Amino acid sequence: MKNIFVSCGEVSGDIYAGEFIHEYLKMNPDAYMWGMLGPEGVNAGGHMRWSYEELKLMGIFEVIPALPRIFKLRNQIAHEIMKTQPEAVILIDSPDYHLMLAHSLRKRGYSGKIISLIPPTVWAWRTGRVKNLKRDFDLCLPLFSFEHNFLLSHGVHSLWKAHPLVHNMKEVQIPEEFRKRFGDEKIIALMPGSRYYDIKFHLDILLGTAEILRHEGKYLPVFSAAPGLSEKLSDELKGRVRDSGFELWNGEGRELMLGSCAVAGVSGTVAVEAMMLNRYMVVIYNLNRIIYAILKCIVHVKNISVPNMLTDKQIYPELLCRNARPDKIVQELHSYLEDEKRKREIDLYLIEAKKLMGEDNAASYWAECIDK
């Protein structure tokens, strides 16, 4: 019976863990897969020894007091891995913790495979961590082709075939409930994010955007209140949107975007999802000016949105800091929706970018790679 350790530390990592575990158990039904997991990993057949909630920290003021507990957790997990000697250790995202755990295992003499599933974004910043990947990991399985090429160019063993969204987005459809509720309305999907920071610093901007759209009367703004939000954030978001008299969609954000003619929202995975659905998006991110100035010095990419990185073309406008204003968002939406020439050009760019996402079931490929 194969013994595989899997660790994730946040919601997105748990989703990838669930997909990977599901596919690996299809190929190896008798495998024992255990570790630090969330509900998706458990539902897929993994055994939770530690909850991924252990690493769900927000901000430096939460992280610093938690450091003794995090070090203790690392030592407990490393001790259990050394004791049970799994054939492979799969570390998913959460790089600051997982790089530390991988190095601890190597120092203790662990000689099995250590694999980074969703490796750190060394192509964007903290490039020095490449040496950690080369020293402690047998393999990296990144999400994007440009990440894969960067890792290879720096001597890291990397394999890539596709992004998991290529497979996952194939089944997205507009629910009948959505069609009945909104009919032929021209919808602008407003995506305020799923984290505390996203809601706190972007909801007002998107509410202002919705107010302009409502006043113009040509498009119907609809906010996403995806099921993945925490109860507290969900209540805050829904309360403020309803108090302002705007529409909410409580289903999947993907459904809302597919039913819309364009999207505006916070930078993140949602931009990749919009691209996979052939939807134009105005990407916003509201940063403190001092933090933004610091990041400009240490981050080595000119775009923050993956669709723009894939083709090195400005497919999606990126409105950052003081530019993330309702009037500018609406202006960018109009420039796409009401300029047929520009719309055709952007739509062709979206098709080009989608091709660079691969054409396979990424989770199935990950599962195959573990036993190579």
Q: Which of 138, 39, 37 is closest to 94 using CA atoms?
A: 37
CA–CA distance, 33 with 19 (Å, rounded to integer)? 13
Length of the chain: 372
The residues pairing with 248 across neighbouring beta strands, listed in sequence order, are 223
Answer with the residue of higher pLDDT: 298 or 225: 225
Is 90 exceeded by the pLDDT of residue 123? no
pLDDT band at 59 (very low <50, low <70, confident <90, very high): very low
CA–CA distance, 225 with 40 (Å, rounded to integer)? 20
Q: What is the pTM of this model?
A: 0.86
Lowest mean pLDDT among 34-38, 129-133, 139-143, 312-316: 312-316
Q: Mean of the pLDDT values across residues 114-134?
A: 91
Burial 295-306 (b: 16+ CB within 10 A, else e): eeeeeeeebbbb
Is 90 exceeded by the pLDDT of residue 29? yes
CA–CA distance, 91 with 229 (Å, rounded to integer)? 24
Per the structure block, which two tokens stand in for 181? 């509720």
CB 37 within 8 A of CB 51: yes
Lowest mean pLDDT among 28-37, 52-61, 239-248, 332-341: 52-61
CA–CA distance, 289 with 351 (Å, rounded to integer)? 34
pLDDT the model gives residue 63: 55
Q: Mean of the pLDDT values across residues 43-68?
A: 75
Tens-digit pLDDT profile for residues 280-337: 999 999 865 555 554 455 455 677 789 999 987 889 999 988 899 999 999 999 999 9
CA–CA distance, 330 with 326 (Å, rounded to integer)? 6
Place of tokens 């980074």: 116
Q: Mean of the pLDDT values across residues 245-263?
A: 96
Please, what is the angle between helix 269-276 and helix 340-355, to 10°? 100
Sign, Cα dihedral of 297, 299, 301, 303: negative
CB 264 within 8 A of CB 329: yes
CB 182 within 8 A of CB 215: no
CA–CA distance, 362 with 372 (Å, rounded to integer)? 15
CA–CA distance, 8 with 35 (Å, rounded to integer)? 8
pLDDT the model gives residue 315: 95
Per the structure block, which two tokens stand in for 137? 């990991």
Q: Which of 88, 69, 97 is closest to 8 using CA atoms?
A: 97
Neighbours of 320 (CB within 10 A): 16
The most distant pair of C-alpha atoms in the chain lies apart, rounded to whole Å, by 66
Alpha helix locations (H) across the chain? 11-27, 39-43, 60-84, 95-107, 130-136, 145-153, 164-168, 176-182, 196-216, 231-243, 253-258, 269-276, 289-298, 306-311, 326-337, 340-355, 362-370
Q: Mean of the pLDDT values across residues 335-345?
A: 96
pLDDT the model gives residue 371: 87
CA–CA distance, 301 with 23 (Å, rounded to integer)? 33
pLDDT band at 61 (very low <50, low <70, confident <90, very high): very low
Is 70 exceeded by the pLDDT of residue 168? yes
Lowest mean pLDDT among 59-63, 210-214, 277-281: 59-63
pLDDT band at 58 (very low <50, low <70, confident <90, very high): very low
Burial 258-287 (b: 16+ CB within 10 A, else e): bbbbbbbbbbbebbbbbbbbebbbbbbbbb
Answer with the residue of higher pLDDT: 66 or 249: 249
CA–CA distance, 166 with 309 (Å, rounded to integer)? 17
Is 80 exceeded by the pLDDT of residue 227? no
CB 205 within 8 A of CB 325: yes
Q: In what order do the strands lie in the sheet with 262-266?
A: 247-249, 220-224, 187-191, 262-266, 281-285, 318-320
Lowest mean pLDDT among 92-96, 110-114, 296-300: 296-300
Q: Mean of the pLDDT values across residues 258-272?
A: 94
Tens-digit pLDDT profile for residues 173-204: 999 999 999 999 999 999 998 777 788 889 99
Lowest mean pLDDT among 63-67, 142-146, 150-154, 158-162: 63-67
Q: State phi, psi for 7 to the nearest 5 degrees.
A: -135, 135
